[in-house]
Structure 1
Amino acid sequence: MAVYSSTIAQHTTGGTDSDDAKSHHVKNCFGRTTKFRNPHPSAKEINFTDILSVMTGRLTGKYKWPTPKLEDGLLNVVEPKFLESRTGSTQLRATWLGHACYYVEFPSGLRVLFDPVFEDHCAPVKSQGLKRYTPPPCELSALPHVDAVLISHSHYDHLSYSSVLEVQKHHPNAHFFVGLGLEKWFKASGIENVTELDWWDGVDLKLDPQSPKKNANVEDSHSSDANAEPITARISCLPCQHGSGRGMLDQNTTLWCSWAVSSGGSSDEVPSKSVWFGGDTGYRTVYKMAEGEDDYGPEHQDLPRCPQFKQIGEKFGSFDLGLIPIGAYAPREVFSPVHANPFDAVEIFRDTNCKRAMAIHWGTWVLTPEEPLEPPKLLKEALRRRGIAETGVFDVCDVGESRSF
């Protein structure tokens, strides 16, 4: 198979995030950015009291916490099948590897991995309550190619130390793209191929095929990829509404983000395809309501919505595929600022002008007290409300399953 080397040219997407393009930066008295914030009225910072209320509710039984186990088999897990060759496909191909992790194969030959976390626990300490209840569908070593790894933020269910090291071990030429402030963490972990970006900034990535080497790891010139052409892609770091932190002392000191990736040409042989990865995000802040009350009811239409998703849709026109979070949303009065529920997810889908979408951020760990299989059920209801087909537009799939777009 062809081996590629990468070159990167940085660019500015030129978004319309706000009148002040750096309004998400929090600066000290010397003008230096020390942390980041969500700059719009749709957001609210989750504080210690919010978290304490959830913990107390769990202990008192106010919130019935699900306890699924691996052996329960709540979701189907299938062995993924990847394209061994980079050439020959005219469709975008996306494989769900659990939670927010997707592996995307572009017709151009580009291979992108989003938020790989293959650990059993999404926490700095092992806890039965945070253990996976669906296994990864494969080992990271099973991925045939990885050119770019995109990380949405530093929370443990999106950034895994052992997983990124495993990616680097099997794909030493892979380049990691992260939000501002995270480059230091990667370099301290021994990963040098890393670029950090601010919202509305991006890179033009070019992958040039290298001459095949005759050794045990690289096939000879008769490989199906031996006459490979250069691969080009545009990767853009974009806003979302969330937070970051891996401990008590680094809260919001690194930037959270969504990502856009486009790659390909204008010919039928290598069509251009685009993906928007939502990572982890909220959409509106919902205050405490009566049990069963619909926060999308007529009386709540004036709740501020995050404007950044419409800005993304307006800037990019449309995306062939959106990877959009639907889980970890209960209780709403606590988590709505940072986690979309299925009704939020459908609005985000519409705002960003995605042609199709797949659901992420569910079905792997119990992070909040809604039932594990509730998100896909509510997604169907949310699609019905908007007059969108329940299947074939914004879907869920088995862990390890691939879909083409």
Structure 2
Amino acid sequence: MTRNRYYQGPPSDHFDGERFSNPGLPPAGNLSLGAVLKWRLSGSAARWPRSVPVDTARPDARVAGIRVTMVGHASLLVQAAGVNILTDPVWSPRVSPFRHIGPKRVTAPGIAFDDLPPIDAVVLSHGHYDHLDIDTLRRLHARDAPLMAMPLGNDTIVRQGVAGARCVAGDWWARIALAEGVTSTLTPACHWSNRWPGDARMMLWAGHWLDSPAGSVWFVGDTGYGDGRIFAQVRDRLGAPDVALIPIGAYEPRALMTAQHVDPAEAVRIFRDVGAARALGIHWGTFQLTDEPREAPRDDLAHALAADGIPAQRFVAAEVGHAYDLAPPPGTPPGTL
């Protein structure tokens, strides 16, 4: 009998009946407690500022094209073809199973919660606390009752924490209707997930490819680069996105983070692999999870783009509180480099 309390389903190439995995790659997230403690006690982490000022945005109620507003970390408001979608929404002051311990945000949310437009759907990438925040999901459900789409097993966590939540869960490549004319296709990622020490990889992780009449937005989710196969698969199956939301932060030390988080140079490889027309760098500057200085992801992204000869305006490190209108430039074929 399976010990997995989040998901029961048939085995596959990435599920052995109890735990999920990244096919062909060593298991991510299998760090020993000793290795983690040694890292945390090493004193190698850069000192971040206690707080960084933010000019908050006040979004329009609806947007006909594609506009993305950075809330912070992996939380973004995606407005496409009149539909409002939140990715991995976190308005809580900390990302942790405990209210008074754990990484604390250094930037206020880029949109005040009460200034959010009506939210039609929420897409969740995985169960880590900096991505799946039950307190925020409760607030959203009480206010708007949005549809919540997520990978397998995460729906159990949400339903347990948010009474009456409208949840839809799927495997990699599942296509979920979010609103009239707008869908999410769950895409593979090289990552892992857990809520507690004993439940590692018992719920799936994924990105979300959002298709709308205004264009496509690919929310990559947390991922390492791995062997790069999954990004070629995304391009082959789904095409080149108009907009890619690619993580660029939480990557040092590489010896511990490579299997689960890309660095900015690898983020640029993903951008090239899928042929995205435009991209925003996310997952940086809000919560200190790893060792690099706060501004290093933004600076390293600029260096990586220059080294590859990619114009800086095509892949921008998203700043908290900034809104980006991201319809492809007129006459530019999607994926043209």
1:185: which partner in 2? 157
Amino acid at match of 2:160: A
2:3: which partner in 1? none
Please say if residues 151 and 178 of structure 1, whose CA atoms lie closer than 8 Å, have aligned partners that are also in contact.
yes
Of residues 323, 326, 335, the one that matches 1:402 is 323
Of residues 165, 170, 180, the one that matches 2:138 is 165
Cα distance in structure 1, aligned partners of 2:198 and 2:39: 25
Of residues 209, 212, 229, the one that matches 1:263 is 212
Cα distance in structure 2, aligned partners of 1:191 and 1:367: 32
Please say if residues 343 and 378 of structure 1, whose CA atoms lie closer than 8 Å, have aligned partners that are also in contact.
yes
TM superposition outliers: structure 1 runs of 4+ over 4 Å: 126-129
**1:81 correspondence with 2:64:** no
2:14: which partner in 1? 24
- CA shift digits 1:221-249 (9 cap, x unpaired): xxxxxxxxxx3112111100100111012
**1:244 correspondence with 2:193:** yes
Distance 1:126 1:200, change over 3 A: same
Of residues 181, 185, 202, the one that matches 1:253 is 202
Cα distance in structure 2, aligned partners of 1:336 and 1:397: 22
1:99: which partner in 2? 73
Please say if residues 359 and 394 of structure 1, whose CA atoms lie closer than 8 Å, have aligned partners that are also in contact.
yes
* Equivalent position SS for 2:59: coil
**1:56 correspondence with 2:38:** yes
Aligned residues: 315
Amino acid at match of 1:283: Y
Cα distance in structure 2, aligned partners of 1:56 and 1:65: 16
Is the radius of gyration larger for structure 1 or structure 2?
A: 1
1:220: which partner in 2? none
Cα shift at 1:139: 2.7
Backbone CA RMSD of aligned residues: 1.8
**1:386 correspondence with 2:308:** yes
Please say if residues 58 and 116 of structure 2, whose CA atoms lie closer than 8 Å, have aligned partners that are also in contact.
no
1:222: which partner in 2? none
| Bigger RCO (CA 8 Å, 6+ sep) | 1
**1:360 correspondence with 2:282:** yes
* 1:184-333 matched pairs, under 5 angstroms: 184-189=156-161, 190-206=163-179, 231-264=180-213, 272-284=214-226, 305-333=227-255
1:69: which partner in 2? 50
Cα shift at 1:159: 0.6
Aligned-residue sequence identity (percent) comes to 33
* Equivalent position SS for 2:57: coil
**1:38 correspondence with 2:10:** no
Cα shift at 1:111: 1.1
Amino acid at match of 1:278: V
Distance 1:103 1:53, change over 3 A: same
Amino acid at match of 2:148: F
Of residues 10, 25, 30, the one that matches 1:47 is 30
Distance 1:36 1:171, change over 3 A: same
- CA shift digits 1:323-344 (9 cap, x unpaired): 0000111110111000010011
Cα shift at 1:59: 2.1
* Equivalent position SS for 2:164: coil
Please say if residues 205 and 233 of structure 1, whose CA atoms lie closer than 8 Å, have aligned partners that are also in contact.
yes
Please say if residues 21 and 27 of structure 2, whose CA atoms lie closer than 8 Å, have aligned partners that are also in contact.
no
Question: Mind listing any 5+ residue stretches in structure 2 that lack a counterpart?
Answer: 1-10, 327-337
Amino acid at match of 1:346: V
1:288: which partner in 2? none
Please say if residues 141 and 167 of structure 1, whose CA atoms lie closer than 8 Å, have aligned partners that are also in contact.
no
Cα distance in structure 1, aligned partners of 2:246 and 2:42: 33
Please say if residues 48 and 294 of structure 2, whose CA atoms lie closer than 8 Å, have aligned partners that are also in contact.
no
Please say if residues 284 and 294 of structure 2, whose CA atoms lie closer than 8 Å, have aligned partners that are also in contact.
yes
Cα distance in structure 1, aligned partners of 2:147 and 2:289: 29
- CA shift digits 1:282-341 (9 cap, x unpaired): 113xxxxxxxxxxxxxxxxxxxx2301111012111111100000111110111000010
Please say if residues 134 and 364 of structure 1, whose CA atoms lie closer than 8 Å, have aligned partners that are also in contact.
yes
- CA shift digits 1:142-181 (9 cap, x unpaired): 2112111000000000010100011111112x10001101
Cα shift at 1:113: 0.6
Amino acid at match of 2:66: L
**1:124 correspondence with 2:105:** no
